[in-house]
Amino acid sequence: MDRHRKVKSTITKTIEEICGIKIDDEKSNLLEDYLGIILVDWLYILDELHRKYHYPVYEIIESMDCQSFTVEGLSKEISERI
């Protein structure tokens, strides 16, 4: 399994562990209301990803636009930096 796929898997597992929400479409915008991920949960999700990758994931999302805030987009950005 390549790094990009591993990161995608880690992101979806982290969201499921913290929020109890399974992300089926890796290209869905993670900020969409229908997913049910509340704002405060993102603090925990990003903190957990920071711990797992020893990289300040917060810095990555600062440069992302909301349209690319998907599992696919986030994993691509993380994969390029770790």
Q: How far is Cα 6 from Cα 66, in angstroms, rounded to an integer? A: 23
20: left (phi over 0), alpha (psi -120 to 50) or beta: left
Q: How far is Cα 38 from Cα 43, in angstroms, rounded to an integer? A: 10
- Strand segments, DSSP code E, in 16-71 are none
Domain layout of the chain by residue ranges = 3-81
Model pLDDT for residues 39-68, shown as the tens digit of each residue: 999 999 999 999 999 999 989 888 888 888
Question: Rounded to two decimals, what is the model's pTM?
Answer: 0.91
Contact of 10 with 36, CB cutoff 8 Å: no
Q: How far is Cα 74 from Cα 64, in angstroms, rounded to an integer? A: 8
Topology, domain 3-81: 1.10.1200
